[in-house]
Amino acid sequence: MNKSELVQALADKINISTEEASKIVDGFFDSMREALLRGDRIEIRGFGSFKVKQYDGYLGRNPKTGEPVQVKPKRMPFFKAGKGLLDCLNE
């Protein structure tokens, strides 16, 4: 499911226009993005949690040439499925 399909599903589910549903979805994603940028953890009970993990830099290798390459430290979003979602998927 992509974003436009999510917007359409929400509009159909609660009987609103696609414009209103789009604003809701955009607002939801913006709020999540802002929380993760602040370093907050997002927990949606029964669905899962989102957090940002910090990875240190390291010395890697270019797979094509074999030359050493310095990989910069980075922050990556991480999702962990909740028990409700796992149970639903494995019934």
Residue 72: the pLDDT is: 96
Q: In the chain, how many domains are there?
A: 1
1-45 residue pLDDT tens: 999 999 999 999 999 999 999 999 999 999 999 999 999 999 999
pLDDT at 61: 95
Structure tokens at 64: 């094509």
Nearest to 5 by CA among 18, 16, 17: 18
- CA 19, 22, 48 angle in degrees (round to 5)? 155
pTM above 0.85, yes or no: no
pLDDT at 42: 97
* Residue 68, domain CATH: 4.10.520.10
CB 21: neighbour CB atoms within 10 A? 19
Domain range for 32 is: 3-89
Per-residue pLDDT at 66: 93
Tell me: the pLDDT tens digits for 38-79?
Answer: 999 999 999 999 999 999 999 999 999 999 999 999 999 999
The string of DSSP codes covering 22-80 is HHHHHHHHHHHHHHHHHT--EEETTTEEEEEEEE--EEEE-TTT--EEEEPPEEEEEEE
DSSP state of 15: T
CA distance linking residue 4 with residue 22, whole number of Å? 8
Please give the pLDDT value at position 44.
Answer: 96
